Structure formats: C-alpha cells, structure tokens
Structure 1
Amino acid sequence: MPADWTAIEQLPATKLTDLFAADAGRLDSFSLDIAGLHFDWSKTHLTKDAVAAFEALAKAQDLAGKREALFAGKVINTTEGRSVTHVAERGEGAEEDVAKAQALHARMRALIDAIDGEALGAIAHILHVGIGGSALGPDLLVDALGRESGRYDVAIVSNVDGAALEEVFAKFDPTATLLVVASKTFTTKETMLNAESVLQWMAEGGVEDVYGRVVALTADPDKAIEWGVDETRILPFADSVGGRYSLWSSIGFPAALALGWDDFADLLEGAAEMDRHFKQTALGQNAPALAAFADLYYAQVRHCETRATFAYDERLRLLPSYLQQLEMESNGKGVTIDGEPLTRPSAPITWGGVGTDAQHAVFQLLHQGTHLVPVEFVAVIEPGDTLSEDHHRQLLLNAFAQGAALMAGRDNADKARAYSGNRPSSTILLDTLDARTLGALIAFYEHRTFVSGVLLGINSFDQFGVELGKEMAKAADAGGQEFDVSTADLIKRAFG
C-alpha cells in the first residue's frame, strides 16, 4: 500500500460524539461559508490529523499543479488529448478560452433577444431534446429556478421512449413550439431520433417550415447544418467542454431563454465565485477539497460503497440525479491516468432523494441497516413557497434532526428499537435558492469530483464506459451484432 494512503488508513476510528466532546472548536474547524452557502462537515469523521494526511496525499498527487493546469486550459484529459475548459465558461480559465466562451455567450444572448422579439414567430413552448449532460443540467436549472418565470413553458426530453415525447405533445401547441436539439456531436442516436419525431409532430400540426423553428446546441456545427439547421440558429460550444460540465455553455440555452439572461449571468458568476475560492484557498479551508477528503475517507478507509444526497427542498429534487452522472461518470474508472489498474475503490455509488419523502422510504436503512452510508443534506433557509411558515420550518427541522439522530443514536433494551449512531452526515445550507447560489453549488460539486479524481490518480474527464452498450445496440439494429443466447432470446421475444 502506498505510504501516502497508509497514514490515512491508520487514522483512529473515533466516535463522532467523542470528537465533539474532545474539541470545543470542532464546529468552527469543519464549517465555512462561501457564496451564500454554509458547509458543515463537523458530523463527519474528519479530524485535523485526517486533513493533514489528505493534504500530504494531495501534495504527492500534485493537486496544486493539476488545479493550475485545469484553470490554465492545459491538456488534462490525457486519454482523449483534450484540455478541460468548463471553468472558462464562467470567466475563470485561460485568457483565450475565456474570450472564446464570452463570444459564444454573446451569440447565444443575441439569439435569445431575437426569440424574445418574435423573430422566429410567436413562441410559447421550448422543447429541448438531449441526453446525459445535454439534458440533466438544463433540466436541473429550469426545474430549480424556472417554475415561476412565466416566460416560456420548457420541457426537457432525454428518454428515447416515445412516451416521454407524447407527454409533451399533449401539452404543447406545435405551432408555438421551439425545438432545441442538444448534442455535442450531433450524431447521438437517441437525441436525433427524438428530434426527428418532434419535426414530424410539428409538420403534422401545421408548421410549414419546421427547420425554421429549430435551434442546435453542438460542438460540431457542420453536422447541424447537414441535418438542416440554419447557421444563424446554431449555438456552438467548445469541444473541450465535457457534456456533464456543459450547462454553463450553450447547452444552458433553454435555461437562459426561460429565466432571462440576467439570471443566467448570475448563475455563471456564482460558479465563478466558487472557482475563485477553490483556486485560491488553502486545502484545510477549501470547500471542494474538504468534501472530497470526507468522500475518500469513507470510500477508502471505511469501505462505504455508496453516498446519499438528500435535497430538503422540492426545487432541488433533480439534484441527486444530476450528481449521479457528474460523479459516477467522472470517477467510475478502473484504470489510473498511467493506464494501470486502479487497486482501490473508485467513486462510490451516488444516490439520494427528496426531503421528508425519503425519510419514509430509505432512512430505515440509514439509521439501523448494516451498511454505513455517508449522508449529505442540502437545504435552503428561505422558503420556496408562500404557504404557512410551518411547512418550511418542519422541513428544515426534519433535515437537521436527521443528521443529529444519525450521529447520536439511541440505546434501547429492545434491540429492534435501538439506534447505533456514529453515522456520518454533512450539511449544505443555502441562504436562498437563486441563480447565483445554484451556480456556486454546482461548481462546488464539480471541483469536489475533480479533487477526488486527482487523489485517486484517475482521469475524471473521459467516459468510455458509456460506449460499449450503445455500440452493440447500434450494431444489433443494423443486424450486425451476435449476442449470447440469453440476449438473443430477449431480442427474439421482443421483436419476433
């Protein structure tokens, strides 16, 4: 075992309640505030010795150098030979990358102004088709911030299951719908099939020039032109912006259109504020680094195979799904950046749910099950509703009490009613949920994922694991794929 991990593996397994009892300043040591977000890791097993051990590992893995390379736009996605420039979309990358991003943002804003001015006709509905990062990010933004915007009705469709599109068709008027097609390569089969079905629905609904109602979001504009989109309605983004990091680019177009440009600009600034914090702050007071240290401790030392995030705010109900892709696609790797087998656990399984709903579904296992699952609570001080204040009070009290109960536990002579306690949790508390704080929150999760990848020695920015099944399905559709007897039987049963 490498010496740098040995110090971490040998950390004492002190109970959480004992850590508080031994250190009156523990809360101050393991909580901080940045960009309207309050972070509290005091109910995790992080200690000053643990942070020091992780700082030593970070030095050995050259986290500082890799962080500098990220912000300098250098090639850190080594398996694909690409730089990684999503921070430039927020104004914090290399000068030439920032200039390019700002020029593309200006192009996007001009198109939004044209649509608002009805240059494409009267638009009431935005139907965005994409998949993965081309859908999850915009969906999160619109659902969290756009419910009260009143500007446009927005639907994000990613599933190739036709039922997903038909649900939208039943609600939208085809003659008042703008189709937004989001695909980095503009060849993604699921997305392009959905887009073609939307065009057919629009044509059958009375739209004479269906391509005149299409906006393309892509890193390959030529492919979009070949498909039929007018060049003036193509919003490019850099090939060095990965899909799961792309909501800051033109992929965020439906959110910018629905929310208005000022909110989108606030989103970028909130993320940039977290960028500056991550770039400039010592690791012991660095929110993404401390979160990554806790993640790695539980996955590597306590052998926790999962981590759960619970959003105690209905507006953040899509956050767990968004984090699943961000973390598991980034760090679910089996080889190091040197191409050697990864000899320790990679990313844990990310899962979660929403508020008090989850308490009545999965918290039984968290409190009394045999699995140790680190829990993260995300909540907002300012309510998102106008009902009696008791709704929000009960929501927040439940979030805070769950973390306290996981840590403290409770003895009982009846073992079925006993709680072992010593179960870790962290809390992220937003002052309010707006574009700025949401931008900072998402950027925090991005950098946290990056730190974990660096300390594990893996490349967080490729995703070859998603390709094999898709390639086999494509080959099967063309009749050129041989399968095992089980899969062949399933295909025969489905298609005859």
Structure 2
Amino acid sequence: ILNTLEALNPETTLFIVASKSFTTQDTMVNAESAREWLLRRIDDDDDLHRHMVAVTANTEAAIAFGIHPDNIFRMWDWVGGRYSLWSSIGLPIVISIGPTNFTRLLQGAYEADCHFREAPLEQNIPVLMGLLGIWYNNFFGAQSIAILPYDQNMHRFPAYLQQADMESNGKSCDREGHPVSYETGPVLFGEIGIASQHAFYQLLHQGTKLVPADMLVPASNYRCIARHHRALMANVFAQAEALMRGRTEEEAIEEMRAEGLDEERIRTLLPYRVFPGNRPTNTFLFHTLDPKTLGSLIALYEHKIFVQGVIWNINSFDQWGVELGKKLASRILVELNEGLPVASHDSSTNGLINTYLEMR
C-alpha cells in the first residue's frame, strides 16, 4: 500500500474498504494504514468520513472502524466474495469504467444466466463446459486446466478464475460431510496466450501430463494493429490444431527430408519431433472484448463451476479450507508483535518464526 499512497493527494482521495465480514486481516490491515495516512494529513478528524466508504455485510464493524453510516454500501450476507462483483462490491468497477459500462457488464452476465436457465442441455454452454471438465478430470486423469486468453486486456482473467474455481470446488467432503472417493476440482492456471507459448506450451504439447485448455480470443481488436491481430489469430488456430492433431512419425520424417536433413540426423531427431496430439482445447471466439462480453464470460464460468459442484455433490459456496490459516495467522501476528522467541508451535514453524525475529 505504501507505493500506492505515495502518489495520492489526501484531499482528493476516496478509499473504498470492500470486505463482506469487515474482519479479513489483510484487508483490514490495509484499511487501518489508509486511515492512519489520512488522519495524519487532513485538518479535521471529522472529515475522515468524506474520504472513506465501505462495502460490507457487517455494518456494525464498519461503523466501529469509523465509517459514517451514510457511507456504507450494504451487500447481502449470502453472497460469496468470489461471486460478488455483480453486487455493491462492484462499486470500484462502476467508478473505474462508469455506470453505463457496468450496466453492460451486468447485461452480459444476465444473458448468460438466461442461457444457462433456458437452453436445452445439449446446447447449454456451461453444462457442456462442466461435463467436458469432468470427462477429462474423472475419466482421463487430468489434474489441471489452463486458461489462455489471447488478449492482453484479459491478462488477469486466469487469476480471477483461480479463486472462482479452486476455492469453490477444491473440496474433499461431499454435501453430507462424507469424504469423496473421486477427484474434484482441478488446479487452474494460465497466462496470456502468446506468453504461455514461450513458457509452458512445451508441456501441453509433449509433456506427460494431460492439460485441457481454454483459449479465449476476440475476432477483432480495435486497440491492436491489424497485422498484429492476424498473427495472433494465426497462433490461436495453429496451437489448437497442433494440440488436437499432433504430428505423426511419417509427417515428421517427411518434413525433415524436405528440410534436407540426412537419414542419420532424421533418426536422431525423430523422437523429439513427434507430437502425440489428442490434447483437448475449447476455443471461445467472440466478436470483441467489451464489458458485455466479459460479463458473459465470467457468468458462464460461474455456472460451469456450479454444474461441476452439483455432479460432484460438493458445496461450491463455502471455503472452510481458508479458515485454519487465518486463525493461525492471527495467533502468530500477536507473537510477532511481541517479538519474543516462541516455542508453542511445531519445530519447523518455531524455527521459521525465531529465525525471522533474529533477521528483521
């Protein structure tokens, strides 16, 4: 937060503290630092309410923090954080892109909602996405999925979906509390497509792991030089084809002979120039990336997550897996603030904490 605060003018700065519970440690530590920064720079402490608003389901905690009741945007307590951008949590988005564009974002999501509710199963995009994912995960042993947007403006989309998917379906107990006997949510990762080609496509094409991939690409991009975009599209189609078809020994031999290689060199290189193929991809081709399209894409993935949760009989809307770390962090923070050697944890954790205390 220090890098952000350095460039701000307190007289023209509004902080939005967005926290459903208003108790999340990392959020509140930043909020407290922002409040202290303001109090050191504004003339009247009573003016604090002009510079801080909250989005939360815990209005009492927000008021206790110092947020004026009129500056609290309430959210429903049943909305999960990873599904909340459509609610008042989206206030920063409204401020950033304007209400018209935010309405378009909502419209795109609404249309995806209607499609999911009304389309027959065999034409229902989230249902098909969910079933394909389960087919690869539970029947072919795929343990991960790659999200590959071919548009720089979507460079954070894989990270967004990481929370949406893995926090929702990374579960080992079913809805009745029984351990599951099958695989559930996969590891989701991704990066901009062109960057990915130079990073991990080698593993996608010739590795020992089966990694299904989703490629997302706009057919047109007014922010891109036309010939650059054509080159980008060529890569999208080429990678999808290569992952699907691969390259046989016969094709590799023919290609190397066309390159003028001798037979001994061909025999040496042949194992490395064969591609097994049959690596699954979905390609999402849309007209252009705009708020409406983005809203539809996000909602389609949300519904896919729900579909898979239903089939796996797990609760996609809780996240008990994050609770233990939070509780331990609160306890350890007290110990770090005290600054005394600790012996109350396991030997590894004790050693890490005590080494940190010596090094700081």
TM-score exceeds 0.5: yes
What is the aligned partner in structure 2 of residue 442 from structure 1?
298
Say whether residues 1:196 and 2:32 are aligned partners: yes
Say whether residues 1:303 and 2:141 are aligned partners: yes
Matched AA of 1:276: C
Report matched runs for 1:29-428 at 5 Å.
165-206=1-42, 208=44, 209-385=47-223, 387-411=224-248, 412=252, 414-428=270-284
Mapped to 2, the partners of 1:388 and 1:372 lie a distance apart of 35
Mapped to 2, the partners of 1:463 and 1:384 lie a distance apart of 40
Say whether residues 1:474 and 2:330 are aligned partners: yes
What TM-score, normalized by structure 1, do the two folds share? 0.65
| 8 A contact 1:333–1:458 mirrored in 2 | yes
Matched AA of 1:215: V
| 8 A contact 1:284–1:290 mirrored in 2 | yes
Following TM superposition, the consecutive aligned residue runs of length 4 or more in structure 1 with deviations greater than 4 angstroms are none
Mapped to 1, the partners of 2:286 and 2:296 lie a distance apart of 10
What is the aligned partner in structure 2 of residue 489 from structure 1?
351
* Range with greater deviation from structure 2 (207-216 or 289-298): 207-216
Mapped to 1, the partners of 2:232 and 2:7 lie a distance apart of 32
* Offset, 1:205: 4.0
| 8 A contact 1:475–1:481 mirrored in 2 | no
- The structure in which a higher percent of residues are helix is 2
Mapped to 2, the partners of 1:207 and 1:169 lie a distance apart of 18
Mapped to 2, the partners of 1:201 and 1:491 lie a distance apart of 29
Mapped to 2, the partners of 1:306 and 1:255 lie a distance apart of 30
Matched AA of 1:400: F
Give per-residue Cα distances to partners, 1:60-116, cap 9 Å, x unaligned. Answer: xxxxxxxxxxxxxxxxxxxxxxxxxxxxxxxxxxxxxxxxxxxxxxxxxxxxxxxxx
Mapped to 1, the partners of 2:125 and 2:61 lie a distance apart of 40
Mapped to 1, the partners of 2:43 and 2:81 lie a distance apart of 31
The alignment partner of 2:202 has SS state of: helix
Matched AA of 1:346: T
Matched AA of 2:117: K
Mapped to 1, the partners of 2:24 and 2:60 lie a distance apart of 15
Give per-residue Cα distances to partners, 1:200-253, cap 9 Å, x unaligned. Answer: 223334464233201100011121111111111100010011100000001100
Mapped to 2, the partners of 1:216 and 1:372 lie a distance apart of 44
> Aligned pair in 2 of structure 1 residues 346, 397: CA closer, same or farther (>3 Å)?
same
Mapped to 2, the partners of 1:403 and 1:457 lie a distance apart of 32
The alignment partner of 1:344 has SS state of: coil
Mapped to 2, the partners of 1:410 and 1:344 lie a distance apart of 33
What is the aligned partner in structure 1 of residue 262 from structure 2?
none
| 8 A contact 1:307–1:351 mirrored in 2 | yes
Mapped to 2, the partners of 1:353 and 1:373 lie a distance apart of 14
Matched AA of 2:51: R
What is the aligned partner in structure 2 of residue 458 from structure 1?
314
| 8 A contact 1:174–1:207 mirrored in 2 | no
Percent pairwise identity: 43
> Aligned pair in 2 of structure 1 residues 230, 206: CA closer, same or farther (>3 Å)?
closer
What is the aligned partner in structure 2 of residue 42 from structure 1?
none
Mapped to 1, the partners of 2:286 and 2:60 lie a distance apart of 42
> Aligned pair in 2 of structure 1 residues 405, 330: CA closer, same or farther (>3 Å)?
same
- Give the root-mean-square deviation of aligned CA atoms: 1.5
| 8 A contact 2:136–2:142 mirrored in 1 | yes
The alignment partner of 1:478 has SS state of: helix
* Offset, 1:259: 1.3
Give per-residue Cα distances to partners, 1:113-172, cap 9 Å, x unaligned. Answer: xxxxxxxxxxxxxxxxxxxxxxxxxxxxxxxxxxxxxxxxxxxxxxxxxxxx12212333
Mapped to 1, the partners of 2:75 and 2:222 lie a distance apart of 33
Matched AA of 1:304: A
What TM-score, normalized by structure 2, do the two folds share? 0.89
Give per-residue Cα distances to partners, 1:381-402, cap 9 Å, x unaligned. Answer: 12151x5311111112111211
Mapped to 2, the partners of 1:210 and 1:287 lie a distance apart of 48
| 8 A contact 1:315–1:384 mirrored in 2 | no
| 8 A contact 1:476–1:482 mirrored in 2 | no
Matched AA of 1:303: G
* Offset, 1:481: 8.8
Mapped to 2, the partners of 1:397 and 1:167 lie a distance apart of 40
Mapped to 2, the partners of 1:426 and 1:481 lie a distance apart of 52
Matched AA of 1:308: A
Matched AA of 2:8: F
Mapped to 2, the partners of 1:253 and 1:329 lie a distance apart of 23
